[in-house]
Amino acid sequence: MNLNLKEDSDMISMLIVDDDNDHVFIIKRLFGKCNNLNIDVASDGKEGFQKLDANEYDIVIMDLRLPVIDGYDLIDFMRKQKMTSIIVVCSAFTEISNRFIDKVDAYFPKPINMASFKTTLNKLYELCDYEVKVAAI
């Protein structure tokens, strides 16, 4: 899937499912200069489930440890529904269960190394055509 915002006039949709407001702020700031990116946020697994059920997202960035419904259940739901969203997991768990590693596109342990996060997303998804000044985040 090519998500190059520079060439694609369609909006790219991203859902961030995380109950850590600081983490959400950092990710939103990281992608703040992407003109064709629409970011939606869910603060718990239930809200994430409802948004995933009602909308299509190109990219879903989620935590695994979420209130109400955990990230593992969201991943299962997305894959059982044949959703083609790119799934990026950011979690304090030091490793992701082997049963889920093939169901996600990228995994980052928290605290996230923002330089690595940005580089990986740019390589995998060609999201933005600008350089993020990680030190300013």
Selected residue with higher pLDDT from 16 and 3: 16
Distances in whole angstroms, Cα of residue 121 to Cα of each of 68, 69, 80, 129: 28, 26, 24, 12
pLDDT in tens, 99-133: 667 788 888 888 888 788 877 777 766 655 544 44
Question: Where does the chain have alpha helices with state H?
Answer: 21-30, 45-54, 71-80, 98-101, 114-125
Domain residue ranges of the chain, discontinuous segments joined by +: 12-136
> How much of the chain, in percent, has pLDDT values that exceed 70?
75
Architecture label for domain 12-136? 3-Layer(aba) Sandwich (3.40)
Exposure class string for 23-45: b at 16+ Cβ within 10 A, else e: bbebbeebbeebebbebebbbbb
> How much of the chain, in percent, has pLDDT values that exceed 90?
32
In one-letter notation, the amino acid at residue 89 is V
